[in-house]
Amino acid sequence: MPRPIQARFDLGAFAHNLEVVRKAAPGVRAWAVVKANAYGHGLLRAAGAMRAADGFALLDLHEAARLREAGFAHPILLLQGVFEARDLDTVDALHLTPVMHHSAQIDMLQRATLRRPLDVYLKCNSGMNRLGFGTDAVPGAHARLKGMPQVKSVTLMTHFADADGPLGVADQMARFAPLGAQLEAPASMANSAAILRHAETHGDWVRPGIALYGASPFPDQSAAQLGLRPVMTLTSQIIALQTLKPGEGVGYGFKYRAMAETRIGIVACGYADGYPRHAPAGNAAGAPIMVDGMLTRTVGRVAMDMLYVDLTAVPQARLGSKVVLWGGDLPADDVAAAAGTVSYELFCALASRVPAIEI
């Protein structure tokens, strides 16, 4: 028998969340961002459930090839473009849409012999200082691309550093927006946070990621408040029960010690399944977790294959009781917040050893 841990994927939630994005940015085309194995959700599963997207955005040529082999004819945006000249053979063969964020990439494209001209994205660094041409260099790069026989169209693109936070998008928009007007080029700016909060960023193509997976991009607004439905639910079971006497601890380092007699459930899920090891382990706090539908908390240090829950609030819990690590009524965002991270990281860390089922 396999371990009782399981990741369930609600395919209907993908379609629902894509609709939420469509309603937020009506009439705007949407790249479904499926990088990193669709944020841990399974590339082909996510793409299949979001066929209604206008295209897929990712980073890895292998992932692009898997989509093409599976029959997806959608545009595919390569978010970091190519890393070396021979990547362009694959870009050509698969007819991908590469981002150009550096002049070395434009040089490679200029030297390439392609079967068909490509749509390309020209990335502008509007202030995040990660990838892209400075605003001063964009018109030159744009003119260069427009003059190349390898290029069919050029879309301007930028990415926001704090669309989900208090700084918002104003400064970056003030730098980027005039370029689109000046060059009369289509534009793509918005990630999930910008789509849901900053309508002025919608442009011609939006790039939703986390919202499609049903988690919130915002620290101060829940996925449910945004009308999003979680796709992934990570469940397991209680595989042992312990009753600690006052002063006894559980797990490595005894990071938690019982103050009074305390029933503890041992859950078949650990950091090798993708549960965050840095979830709080001490007496003061713990990550939220559900046992038999009741909300309780983890205690002690997460181990490779197990973690521990306080069953004080769940007296009926027994061997085989159902545990929800995240998803369903327990937002991944809440677990992530307790562990000092974001739902993106929890999802991406889901281990391949966890059996997946689709509902």
List of residues contacting ligand PLP (CB under 6 A): 33, 35, 79, 159, 191-193, 207-210, 217
Assess whether 252 carries a catalytic annotation.
yes
Give the nearest distance from C-beta 268 to ligand PLP in angstroms: 30
Q: Which helix (H) or strand (E) holds 13?
A: helix 11-24
Helices (H), 41-159: 43-49, 61-69, 87-94, 103-111, 138-146
Assess whether 35 carries a catalytic annotation.
yes
Do 10 and 234 meet the contact criterion of CB atoms below 8 Å apart?
Answer: no
Q: Is 48 helix (H, G, I), strand (E, B) or coil?
A: helix
Beta bridge partners of 206: 30
Give the nearest distance from C-beta 264 to ligand PLP in angstroms: 36
Indicate the residue among 217 and 251 with the shorter CB distance to ligand PLP. 217
Among 35, 123, 275, 308, which one carries the catalytic annotation?
35
Rounded CA-CA distance 241/273 in Å is 21
Indicate the residue among 45 and 159 with the shorter CB distance to ligand PLP. 159
Give the nearest distance from C-beta 190 to ligand PLP in angstroms: 8
Give the nearest distance from C-beta 355 to ligand PLP in angstroms: 25
Q: Is 232 helix (H, G, I), strand (E, B) or coil?
A: strand
Do 191 and 162 meet the contact criterion of CB atoms below 8 Å apart?
Answer: no
Indicate the residue among 162 and 305 with the shorter CB distance to ligand PLP. 162
Give the nearest distance from C-beta 215 to ligand PLP in angstroms: 9
Q: Which two tokens stand for residue 348?
A: 């991406």
Q: Output the residue with the shortest Cβ distance to ligand PLP.
A: 209
Cα 275 from chain centroid (whole Å): 16
Phi-psi region of 70 (alpha: psi -120 to 50; beta: other; left: phi over 0): alpha
Q: Which of 126, 203, 135 is nearest to 172 (CA)?
A: 126
Among 152, 245, 252, 256, which one carries the catalytic annotation?
252
* Catalytically annotated residues: 35, 252
